[in-house]
């Protein structure tokens, strides 16, 4: 039998994700630390933990923001680890459900108090999250390139690193990191190019991403059946000569421009030439080009990139079975 307090705590976590059908309740108390749903009063504790106020607002959303997320279909839950004797917040993490496919959750803002790291708190936050969230079969997060402690902690917890990297860079700076010639061509993509685009997408995003998003097929990527062609503009990147192989594609979605690169073809010269073409089509030099499919070699050199590593667990029930 669980105590009334423990039952209340479990109910508390349930409340945070109560719109979901969920699995079973984890033991909430182990060695003086309770893992529970974040409440508005935890905001100050999250700031003491080291989160900037803006992040604390995301972890403890105001009722208006929570309503907005709900209307947009965003489902998320923040868990905190609380020291039971003192009420101090020792760690936190936020889980966000991917709209598609069911069963995939992203997490972020995973943090443990500096003096309390490597005591198992970070792992407990993730594992209890995975047990409490409805249908958490696949988990992933993004780690800044160079955050070796976090990458090591992810790996020790059973996550694997994606081979190609996610990044972004200011268009103007990117266009200067390699020679401008021979120029590339951006060719508008039509329905006939769709299978080619799907192949390029798979190469850029990598096998870990595809395992985290099972069901991505030619008709079901970039937001569903050919929706990339309806809601956005897509151009295939080809070499200067006629019939040259495509080395990626550029997608314009509103103000966001993303280059999906074939990692084998992606180097400084390709990025610079793509950036020049995007600028020639009206991209502002101070705008950001999102990059997918960056090879690790590019991130290791100093450059204008912000680079992130995908850390994923595409098989939560087999990794964390008990």
Ligand X SMILES: CC(C)(COP(=O)(O)OP(=O)(O)OC[C@H]1O[C@@H](n2cnc3c(N)ncnc32)[C@H](O)[C@@H]1OP(=O)(O)O)[C@@H](O)C(=O)NCCC(=O)NCCS
Among 6, 98, 106, 157, the residue binding ligand X under the rule CB under 6 A is: 157
Rg (CA), the chain: 22
Q: Shortest gap between Cβ of 123 and ligand X (angstroms)? A: 3
- Label the pairing between strands 233-238 and 185-188: antiparallel
Nearest CA among 102, 158, 103, 78 for reference residue 321: 158
Among 12, 39, 58, 119, the residue binding ligand X under the rule CB under 6 A is: 119
- Give the nearer residue to ligand X in terms of CB position, either 136 or 311: 311
- Give the nearer residue to ligand X in terms of CB position, either 30 or 244: 30
The β-bridge partners of 93 are: 79
Among 35, 112, 212, 310, the residue binding ligand X under the rule CB under 6 A is: 112
End-to-end Cα spacing for the chain:
20
Q: Shortest gap between Cβ of 144 and ligand X (angstroms)? A: 7
Q: Is the peptide bond before 101 cis (omega within 30 degrees of 0)?
A: yes
For residues 289 and 278, the answer to whether their CB atoms sit within 8 Å is yes
Nearest CA among 157, 134, 31, 130 for reference residue 82: 31
- Say whether residue 147 binds ligand X (CB under 6 A): yes
- Say whether residue 118 binds ligand X (CB under 6 A): yes
- Say whether residue 121 binds ligand X (CB under 6 A): yes
Q: Shortest gap between Cβ of 180 and ligand X (angstroms)? A: 36
Query: For residues 302 and 319, what is the distance between their CA atoms, to the nearest angstrom?
Result: 36
Residue nearest to ligand X (CB): 122
How many Cα atoms are found within 13 Å in the side-chain-facing hemisphere of 303?
27
Q: Which residues, at least 6 apart from 78, have a Cβ–Cβ distance to it below 8 Å? A: 16, 37, 38, 59, 60, 92, 93, 94, 95, 109
- Give the nearer residue to ligand X in terms of CB position, either 133 or 200: 133
Among 149, 180, 183, 244, the residue binding ligand X under the rule CB under 6 A is: 149
- Say whether residue 117 binds ligand X (CB under 6 A): yes
Distances (CA, A) of 180 to 183, 220, 229, 272: 6, 35, 28, 7
Select from 51-59, 63-71, 111-119, 225-233 the region that touches ligand X (CB under 6 A).
111-119
Q: Shortest gap between Cβ of 319 and ligand X (angstroms)? A: 13
Among 14, 123, 163, 185, the residue binding ligand X under the rule CB under 6 A is: 123
- Say whether residue 156 binds ligand X (CB under 6 A): yes
For residues 236 and 204, the answer to whether their CB atoms sit within 8 Å is no
- Say whether residue 137 binds ligand X (CB under 6 A): no
- Say whether residue 141 binds ligand X (CB under 6 A): yes
Select from 15-23, 121-129, 174-182, 286-294 the region that touches ligand X (CB under 6 A).
121-129
Query: For residues 45 and 261, what is the distance between their CA atoms, to the nearest angstrom?
Result: 42
Nearest CA among 235, 270, 239 for reference residue 253: 235
- Say whether residue 153 binds ligand X (CB under 6 A): yes
For residues 164 and 260, the answer to whether their CB atoms sit within 8 Å is no
* Count of residues of this chain found to bind ligand X when the rule CB under 6 A is applied: 19
Distances (CA, A) of 104 to 22, 115, 312: 14, 32, 10
Q: Shortest gap between Cβ of 27 and ligand X (angstroms)? A: 16
- Say whether residue 122 binds ligand X (CB under 6 A): yes
Q: Shortest gap between Cβ of 214 and ligand X (angstroms)? A: 24
- Binding region for ligand X (CB under 6 A): 110-112, 117-123, 141, 143, 147, 149-150, 152-153, 156-157
């Amino acid at each position: 039998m669980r105590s009334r307090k423990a039952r209340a705590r479990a109910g508390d976590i349930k409340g945070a994700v109560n719109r979901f059908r969920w699995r079973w309740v984890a033991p909430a108390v182990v060695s003086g630390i309770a893992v529970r749903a974040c409440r508005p009063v935890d905001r100050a504790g999250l700031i003491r933990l080291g989160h900037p106020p803006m992040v604390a607002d995301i972890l403890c959303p105001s009722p208006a923001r929570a309503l907005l997320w709900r209307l947009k279909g965003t489902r998320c839950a923040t868990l905190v680890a609380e020291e039971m004797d003192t009420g101090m917040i020792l760690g936190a993490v936020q889980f966000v459900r991917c709209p598609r496919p069911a069963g995939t959750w992203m997490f972020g803002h995973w943090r443990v108090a500096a003096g309390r790291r490597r005591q198992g708190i970070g792992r407990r936050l993730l594992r209890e999250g995975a047990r409490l969230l409805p249908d958490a079969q696949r988990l992933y997060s993004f780690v800044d390139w160079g955050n070796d402690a976090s990458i090591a902690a992810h790996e020790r917890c059973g996550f694997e690193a994606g081979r190609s990297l996610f990044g972004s860079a200011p268009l103007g700076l990117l266009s200067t990191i390699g020679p401008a010639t021979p120029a590339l061509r951006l060719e508008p993509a039509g329905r006939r190019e769709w299978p080619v685009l799907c192949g390029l997408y798979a190469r850029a995003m990598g096998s870990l991403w595809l395992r985290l998003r099972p069901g991505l097929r030619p008709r079901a990527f970039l937001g569903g059946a050919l929706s990339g062609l309806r809601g956005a503009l897509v151009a295939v990147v080809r070499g200067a000569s006629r019939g040259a192989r495509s080395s990626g594609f550029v997608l314009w979605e509103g103000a966001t421009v993303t280059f999906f690169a074939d990692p084998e073809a992606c180097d400084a010269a390709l990025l610079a030439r793509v950036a020049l073409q995007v600028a020639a089509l009206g991209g502002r030099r101070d705008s950001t080009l999102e990059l997918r499919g960056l090879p690790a070699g590019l991130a290791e050199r100093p450059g204008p990139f912000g680079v992130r590593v995908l850390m994923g667990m595409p098989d939560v029930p087999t990794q964390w079975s008990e």
